[in-house]
Amino acid sequence: SSGINAEYGGYPSDPKTKEWLSKNVDKVFGFPQFVRFSWSTAELIMDKKCVKVSWDEEGDEDEENNPKLSSFFKKVKKTSEIPRHRFYHEQGLMSMTDF
């Protein structure tokens, strides 16, 4: 058992849910992963009961130094073919594209 009381309502405005959130908030980590942090109820409880965190900003944020997360998932076109290992050339092996 995870030690988490499973008696809660399920809706952010439900008194049981508010009570459950208030009793099960961690001062550093917030709530378990199944809690919707986007609920204003959860946000208000965290603001009231959790440790405040402030992030220092270091200089200007620009796209070059801080790329968007989505940029890591863009398809990149190959500009040139990677040279094959000499083993393939010595054995006379070639890539097969059609059967």
Residue 33 has pLDDT above 70, yes or no: yes
Closest CA to 19 of 29, 9, 32: 9
The neighbour count for residue 20, using CB atoms within 10 Å, is 20
Give pLDDT tens digits for 55-83.
776 655 555 567 666 666 666 666 667 77
Q: Which two tokens stand for residue 61?
A: 């944020």
* C-alpha distances out from residue 56 to 25, 40, 53, Å: 25, 25, 10
DSSP state of 90: H
To the question of pTM greater than 0.85 for the whole model, the response is no
- Of 27 and 83, which is predicted with more confidence? 27
Look at 52 and 9; give whichever has higher pLDDT.
52
